[in-house]
Structure formats: C-alpha cells, structure tokens
Chains A and B, each alone.
Chain A
Amino acid sequence: MAGQDNRYEKARIIGARALQVAYGAPVLIDTDQTQPILIAAEEYDAGVLPFTVRRGEQ
C-alpha cells in the first residue's frame, strides 16, 4: 500500500530493513547503493519489503 504509511511508519520500516541488511540479509533489488539504510530506502520505494504495520482495530 504505497503512500499509505505516514512518516513514522516509513522510518520504522526502513530502519528495520536496514538492520536486516546490515546483518547480511539478501538484498531484494538491484542497486548501486552500499549503505544499508540507502539500500533499505530503495527497497521500500520499490515496494518489495514484506512488512505490514499493525494499527490495531481498523
């Protein structure tokens, strides 16, 4: 659901993914980036990350 995350959710998702990448998780896209956080951001923009935000009762 692109564009549905607010800035805090986006930051949290990219942060969590960057940590995984930093620990050696396979990168899901082709990228020139070398820093985990930038890789994570690109993955986020590409929409390949398997994260969902639980917002309680919706």
Chain B
Amino acid sequence: MSEIDYDPQQKFDGVDDDIEAVVEDTELPRRLKTKVYRTVDERGAGVEDADQIAKAVENRYLDTRVDPLDPVGTVSAQSIGEPGTQMTMNTFHYAGVAEIDVTQGLPRLIELVDARKEPDTPMMTVHLEDEFAENRERAHEVVWKIEATRILALGDISTDVADMLVRVDLNPDTLQERWPTVDNLAEIVGEISETIESKLGVDVVQLDETVIEFGPDEPSYRELLQLVEDLREIVFKGIEDIDRVVIRREDTEESEDGEFVLYTEGSELGNVLGIEGVDASRTTCNNIHEIHRNLGIEAARESIIEETMNTLEEQGLDDVNIRHLMLVADIMTNGGGIQSIGRHGISGSKESVLARAAFEVTVNHLLDAAIHGEIDDLNGVTENVIVGKPIKLGTGDVNLRMGSEPARTDGTGEGAD
C-alpha cells in the first residue's frame, strides 16, 4: 500500500480531517497509524484525545527503536542463545496438538535454523472453508481426500497358494465411509480394481459384490508374494505422504462457535491447497521449504518467524522479543531463497576470507584464498578484529569532526571544520 492512496476517513467513520492531520503528523509507520485510527474510531475519541494517543504511541515507538550503530546481530544471537540453554534438551518428541507427535524444543529450533529440507515430523494445519468447516460429514470428505488410503484399511487380503491367487475381501462399510460422495458400491469396487490393474499390471476378477481376485501371469510363488507386497503400497485415495489426519473442532478467529480444523501427519502443501473445501489462505505446514515452493519467499520468512516464536513459546520462553527472530528470518531469506545459518549457509558464504576462516576449517580457507589470490576488503566485523582495527559498530563507527567553537550553540550542529 502506498502512502498516498491510503484514506483513513473512508475506512473509519470516526476519523475526520483534524484527526487525520494529527495522526499523519507523527513519525509512526503505516501499520501503527492504522491501529491508532482504529482505536480512535472504536473509542469515539475527539481531536484532543486523538492527539494525545498519537503522541503517546509515537513516544513509545521512538523509545523502542534500535539506536544506529547497535550490534543487532550479536544481540539477537545472545537473546536466542540464552533461552536456548534453558530448553530441555531431551524433549525430542512430545504429544502436541491433537495426539500428533511434533518435534519441539531445541531439536525443532536447530531444525529451523539449519533449514533442513524435510522436518523430522512434517505436519500440516488444514483450515476449511464454508460448509466444510461447519459440517462434520463435509469435513470428513476432505479428510478422505487427504489421508492416504491403502488396501489394509479397506479389507482383508488372503493368498490362495494352490490356485496362485490373491483375494481381497473389501469391507463395504469402510468403502462407503471413505468414498462418501459415491453412492454405488459397485462403482467404488470398480475403481479399486482399475487402480490395482494399472499399478500391478494384472487382471482383476470380481467374484462377489465386494470380493476381488487376481494372480500373477505365470504361476510363481515368489511373484505371488511380491504382488501382495506391492498391493500394500498402493495408495487408492488421498495423498501418499500423509499417513494420518486428525479432525478437531476449534474456536478460531474466523468463527466463534467453532469450526473443524484438520491436523495431518506428513505434509504435501502443494496438493492440499488444490483440494475443494480447503481454505488456502489459512492452511499451513511446518516445512519452510514447502511453503517457499508453494507460497513464495515472503511466506517462508513469515513462517520461520512463526515457527521459531512458537517453539520458544511452547517452552515458556515467550519473552524473547520477536524482532530477534525477524532478523534471523530476514538473514535466512533475503537472498530470495532459504539459506541456513552455519557452515553450509550464511557463515560459509561470507565475502571475507578471514571471516570464513574464523568460523571453521581455518587452514583450508586460508590455503584456498592464497592459491586463488583472494583479496579481503576488511569491511566486516570479524576481519577487523583479526587484523586489530576498530570495528564498524558502536563507538567504532562514529565519525567525529572538531571545529573551533561549540558545535551545538546554534542548534544546527554546524561547528565549522
């Protein structure tokens, strides 16, 4: 949103020209100005009050801003590192939301900062729209579209060694349950037979309404067992990587009397977002790379902040300022892709040879740099500490000029050179 086309008077009835002038006069960012407008509108405050509110918010805002030359990175590292030492090291697994096992605590934090390709326990939180969120039956339709259905869930398998046949006795109740949109049992069984035929390359014979039979082309005991083995792997419905879906009724911001939310074990965001009934705007997963692929880098940044903050909060360490985590997320994502913190990411790809050498495998880095004739411009902190120069931070980066008369008497700061 650009500064120019924003009109608070259109959005809030209680805001008039005077109030707008008062609020726009502050140094606040757009987001906070909007919040001030909303508050003024809700409380029905006059110009005087609005002015006081705006001034108070501005003071607080300026107060909490970081000074120029502050070593924010170092402060962030310490502010995340210290609570990290308090995290219980052995909370490797912990029953999280709705009986789904989610990695938490220190292992989860390490996982996020290392930007692992695949989290230890991938999971998704799937929100639903409209009637899917309110009606249990409709919500279940979505569940069966997501959860992978394999043959063991549908019926019993028996092998007839004498006739070299595999017989599957499907359970009609389960079929009806898992294909709620299809009324005709024969149609479902037909669909299953087709899937088996195309996946295993065999001819399927239907014996009864729900009993199907097939066998290898040539009589072979090994082949028969192999067929059974392969049959177990076939996914008849749903998404392969998602083993389990838990459905819960929850109070959310969207609806006060509760709506159905799905939690999945395993994640495949790209496929799930396309399913009918899934609210793509609220559905997320805990795999930052998957979010990056499907929703872009800004979403990935946002989810790194969310996930790290939640991990800390779950351990009762919620007094870590979110700006530290924002900085980490910014550093990880500002190249347009996700970079990990550490050897393979940020620290390993630094410009300066000395900075890289200071981090790990010192000799190799120096040797390579010498062979390739690398030049170090000494711009960073680490390099300057190594060569013994003042660093460009804090008092080290203040550029003083001395004049011949007091610098501030005239109020302009001009002291002559």
Chain A positions near chain B (C-beta within 8 angstroms): 1-2, 4, 6-9, 11-13, 15-16, 47-56
A55 proximity list for chain B (CB < 8 A): 68, 399
Query: Whole-angstrom distance between the alpha carbons of A50 and B412 in the complex?
Result: 13
Query: Whole-angstrom distance between the alpha carbons of A5 and B69 in the complex?
Result: 12
Instruction: Give which listed residue, B406, B411, B412, contacts A49 with CB less than 8 A.
Output: B406
B395 engages A8 (CB within 8 Å)? yes
Instruction: Give which listed residue, B67, B401, B408, B412, contacts A7 with CB less than 8 A.
Output: B67
A43: nearest residue on chain B (CB-CB)? B406
Chain B residues numbered 385-407 whose CB sits less than 8 Å from any CB in chain A: 394-395, 397-407
B401 proximity list for chain A (CB < 8 A): 51-54
The answer to whether the Cβ of B313 comes within 8 Å of any Cβ in the partner chain is no
The answer to whether the Cβ of B409 comes within 8 Å of any Cβ in the partner chain is yes
Instruction: Give which listed residue, A1, A6, A48, A52, contacts B400 with CB less than 8 A.
Output: A52
Interface centre among A4, A9, A49 (most CB of B within 10 A): A9
Query: Whole-angstrom distance between the alpha carbons of A50 and B407 in the complex?
Result: 5
A50 proximity list for chain B (CB < 8 A): 402-407, 415-416
B400 engages A51 (CB within 8 Å)? yes
B413 engages A47 (CB within 8 Å)? no
Q: Given contacts A50-B405, A55-B399, are A1 and B394 in contact (CB under 8 A)?
A: no
Chain B residues numbered 359-406 whose CB sits less than 8 Å from any CB in chain A: 394-395, 397-406
A and B contact pairs by CB, cutoff 8 A, 30 listed: A1-B413, A2-B408, A4-B413, A6-B69, A8-B67, A8-B69, A8-B394, A8-B395, A8-B397, A8-B398, A11-B395, A12-B398, A13-B400, A15-B395, A47-B406, A47-B408, A50-B403, A50-B405, A50-B406, A50-B407, A50-B416, A51-B402, A51-B415, A52-B400, A52-B403, A53-B400, A54-B399, A54-B400, A55-B68, A56-B399
A51 engages B407 (CB within 8 Å)? yes
> What 6 pairs between A and B have smallest CB-CB spacing?
A12-B398, A54-B399, A6-B67, A50-B403, A52-B415, A12-B395
